[in-house]
Amino acid sequence: MGRGRAKAKQTKVARELKYYSPDTDLRALEAELHGQPSQQTTRGSRDDVDEADDDDYDAWTSRER
């Protein structure tokens, strides 16, 4: 019985997502399509990350049971 309000809210949100069109930055889109670097900062490559910081599983595997 209590699902009607939740379903109406979900329908409203879905409709907003479907029909809402934000302002498109056409210059950024053009630069991306032409392969030019954008003015925004880019994320670092995966090589910049220390592999030891990625996974704590190594600490578990090196221990004797």
**Count of the separate structural domains present in the chain:** 1
Two tokens at 40? 């925004």
Q: How many Cβ atoms sit within 10 Å of the Cβ of residue 48?
A: 7
Please state the pTM of the whole predicted model: 0.32
Query: Is 12 among the domain residues?
Result: yes
Domain of residue 26: give its range.
1-37
pLDDT at residue 65 above 70?
Answer: no
Q: Dmax over Cα atoms in the chain, in whole Å?
A: 59
Query: Is 17 among the domain residues?
Result: yes
pLDDT in tens, 20-64: 877 888 899 899 999 876 566 555 555 665 665 666 666 667 666
Query: Is 26 among the domain residues?
Result: yes
Q: Is 27 helix (H, G, I), strand (E, B) or coil?
A: helix
